[in-house]
Chains A and B, each alone.
Chain A
Amino acid sequence: MITRSLSALARALAAREISSVELTRLYLERIARLNPKFNAYISVDEEKSLAQARAADDMLAAGQAGPLTGIPLAQKDIFCARGWLTTCGSKMLSNFVSPYDATVIERFNAAGTVILGKTNMDEFAMGSSNETSHFGAVRNPWNTECVPGGSSGGSAAAVAALLAPAATGTDTGGSIRQPAAMCGLTGLKPTYGVVSRYGMIAFASSLDQGGPMARSAEDCALLLNTMAGFDERDSTSLDRPKEDYTRDVEKPLAGLKIGLPKEFFGEGCDPDVMKRIEEAIAEYRKLGAETIEVSLPNMKLAVPAYYVIAPAEASSNLSRFDGVRYGYRAPEYADLNDMYSKTRAQGFGEEVKRRILIGTYVLSHGYYDAYYLQAQRIRRLIANDFVEAFKQCDVIMGPTSPTTAFRIGEKASDPVQMYLSDIYTIAVNLAGLPGMAVPAGFVGGLPVGLQLIGNYFSEARLLNVAHRYQQVTDWHLQHPAGLD
């Protein structure tokens, strides 16, 4: 049961082979037993989960079930869920029981899914290893000495360890795709604006986007069908006709034009990882796709521009954490200013503080043009590079991450090395494009993820491209050892 796809679980629920309560209990029992080993979940609330499962069983019995009704899911702890502790991986929100639902949660609740728990993450989604969480590092199920990637590391580890059939993540610079790659999952970051950000705790508002993390492209398509949609409460939500993201999954790939950016295939990537990527591309040629070289000449500027834009937006977004309306407040202070300063000094971790300081600096008088405006101009150049590339191809492919999962502690003391772990993913967020990570083999027992990048609103096409590959490979069906 625990290795079945979401559609197979839905069939089992519809056929009364298992009830949602039984399925939920099965996962809760596994979480209780195995979570201490991986630290994938921050909170679990059996009562709440089972109440949702009972309601789902009622929907199933009444013949009102949708495609996901009764299926338990892990939710990243960045999504506010009413009555649930919602920490965003931070001490600042370690006591925050959300009084409202994020739109994503609301949509999943309406679809009849069950919240299994809230997953661990880098603090405020700032990190690429899940080591910045106030609630401790998450361990990679493929090798518990290694990180699961980040920031959606808890979601990735939960699904890889079979502690959830699928999960949600958010991606500001690679936070869905990189942990999906490092844990052997399929992850999708949609086009900016497709999934509502309402109730999704903000890091960098012009880049943040929620999306699904699951075992297969088909599962991701089902999840995205529920997650996507216009939301008037998010001012950047796009009002577009509803799409069925599963509609094209079976389409043959003959004639597909794959663009291979030369900047992705030069130096900087581990040669063994690159070998897996090249093997995956060879598989696509067998499926009838053709490959052409494209260029993203400003690619190398993506990380520098991102580390101006994302911290600038973060410094503004995180100014709301002042110890007045919610969250942590320092126990002792002299006056109002001292309360703010001590609350923020004690409530935020080191990486979050670093980014707030960078953001505050680049937005301050005298530096705004040289940093923030320059970064926004470079952002335009990067987006234009993709526009040019997509005139020649349907989808861009390359590695998701330059290495497999690294060891816990290996990069924790060197922020710059950590930032460079996202060299292949960040440009996609700057441009606002959809991107995926797809399991493409292993190096030394650790998963490698192929990255797919599509043009704006090409999610259905990306899912099709990923699905056809998953029909002829079984990398996405493999599980780590020792999970019983």
Chain B
Amino acid sequence: MSLTLEQVRRVAQLARIDISDAEAESTLGHLNGIFSLIEEMQAVDTRGVEPMAHAQDLAQRLRVDEVTEVNRRDAYQAVAPETEAGLYLVPKVIE
């Protein structure tokens, strides 16, 4: 299988990564190299094999529905690019 330039642009758009035409070209070459490695998997018959999502087959642990964190809003917002009155600022979404 081989990716097309159009697919690379589409995936970059889904991943929200701006990509120039020149970058898309060189990325295409690299990705196709990587996918030719990945393709080795496809020849294997895995019918009936249970997919392994995790290293330990454990059920998700549950906890009591209680507030355990202290409010450190100021400390956490101090590292944000832009905040105002305790809110994160982003460019206007709705005109």
Contacts and interface: CB of A to CB of B under 8 A. Distances in A.
Q: Which DSSP category, helix, strand, loop or mixed, fits chain B's interface?
A: loop
Interface in A343-389: 344-345, 348, 353-354, 356-358, 360-361, 364, 370-371, 373-381, 383
Given A356-B17, A361-B11, A364-B11, A376 B51 contact: yes
Nearest to B16: A340
A416 interface: yes
Which 4 pairs of residues, A with B, have the shortest CB-CB distance? A432-B55, A376-B51, A192-B55, A345-B18
Nearest to A374: B41
A415 interface: yes
B40 A300 contact: yes
A261 B55 CA distance: 21
Contacts of B38: 304, 307-308, 371
B31 A357 contact: yes
A56 interface: no
Interface in B1-36: 3, 7-8, 11-19, 27, 30-31, 33-36
Contacts, number: 168
B46 A377 contact: yes
B65 interface: no
B46 A378 contact: yes
B56 A236 contact: yes
A344 B51 contact: no
A436 to B, nearest CB: 17
B18 A358 contact: no
Interface string A305-324: 10110000001000100111
Given A308-B38, A336-B92, A380-B52, 7 more contacts: A98-B79, A99-B76, A206-B54, A207-B55, A334-B91, A364-B11, A416-B34
A339 B90 contact: yes
A303 interface: yes
Interface of A: 95-100, 192-193, 206-207, 232, 235-236, 238, 298, 300-301, 303-305, 307-308, 315, 319, 322-329, 333-342, 344-345, 348, 353-354, 356-358, 360-361, 364, 370-371, 373-381, 383, 414-416, 419, 429-432
B88 A324 contact: yes
Contact of B58 (A236, A305, A345): A236
Contacts of B84: none
A333 B93 CA distance: 13
Contact of B44 (A238, A338, A378): A378
B11 A357 contact: yes
A361 B7 contact: yes
A355 B94 CA distance: 32
B63 A232 contact: yes
A99 B72 contact: yes
B41 A375 contact: yes
Given A193-B55, A342-B18, A361-B7, A415 B39 contact: no
B52 A376 contact: yes
Interface in B62-87: 63, 72, 75-76, 78-82
Nearest to B53: A376
Interface residues of B, number: 52
29 contacts: A235-B61, A301-B41, A308-B41, A319-B16, A322-B16, A336-B90, A336-B91, A337-B16, A338-B91, A341-B13, A344-B15, A354-B31, A354-B34, A357-B8, A357-B17, A360-B15, A361-B7, A364-B14, A370-B42, A374-B41, A374-B42, A375-B41, A376-B53, A377-B52, A380-B52, A414-B33, A419-B34, A430-B55, A432-B55
Nearest to A301: B41
Contacts of B52: 376-377, 379-380, 383, 430
A232 B42 CA distance: 38
Nearest to B14: A360
Contacts of B15: 315, 319, 344, 356-357, 360
Contact of A416 (B37, B46, B72, B91): B37
B78 to A, nearest CB: 7
B7 to A, nearest CB: 7
A99 B75 contact: yes
A416 B80 CA distance: 36
A353 B90 contact: no
B21 to A, nearest CB: 13
A431 B54 CA distance: 9
Contacts of B80: 324-326
Contacts of A335: 91-93
Contacts of A379: 51-52
Contacts of A415: 30, 33-34
